[in-house]
Amino acid sequence: MMSFVSLLVVGILFPAIQAKQFTKCELSQVLKDMDGYGDITLPEWICTIFHISGYDTKTIVHDNGSTEYGLFQINNKLWCRDNQIQSKNICGISCDKFLDDDLTDDMMCAKKILDNEGIDYWLAHKALCSEKLDQWLCEKM
């Protein structure tokens, strides 16, 4: 009985990470302040995020000994820290913070990446999101 009570208390005190599968329009609303940042339009961001993470905040991709986290697929070698590899942690944040539904820190780090690496950090952008962007607009905004 004591084990059950302990588990219940732990579950209440430390809730699970709240991940979110966004829709195009929900994400457009949340990311509206990124429109035009670094000359990247909101439809470009929406398209790029769709192709790299499917609008899913809990997306984790393992690639060539590193891991990419969240909507923006932020890499653990340079931008965030986890317990897998030594990181420069340029954004000064734990990688697991990119797996929740609060995109504030994700957007701050994405802007830092854009400032340092440019939009080509996200390979999907050039290949899939640099033209014909009407389908990525949200009419509900």
What residues form the annotated binding site for Ca(2+)?
Answer: 97, 100, 102, 105-106
Sign, CA dihedral 37-42-46-47, equals: negative
Question: Quick one: which H or E segment has residue 60?
Answer: strand 60-63
Which residue type, as a one-letter code, is found at position 97?
Answer: K
DSSP 62: E
Place of tokens 């790299």: 52
* Annotation: binding site: 97, 100, 102, 105-106
Which residue type, as a one-letter code, is found at position 81?
Answer: R
Q: Are 80 and 86 in contact (CB under 8 A)?
A: no
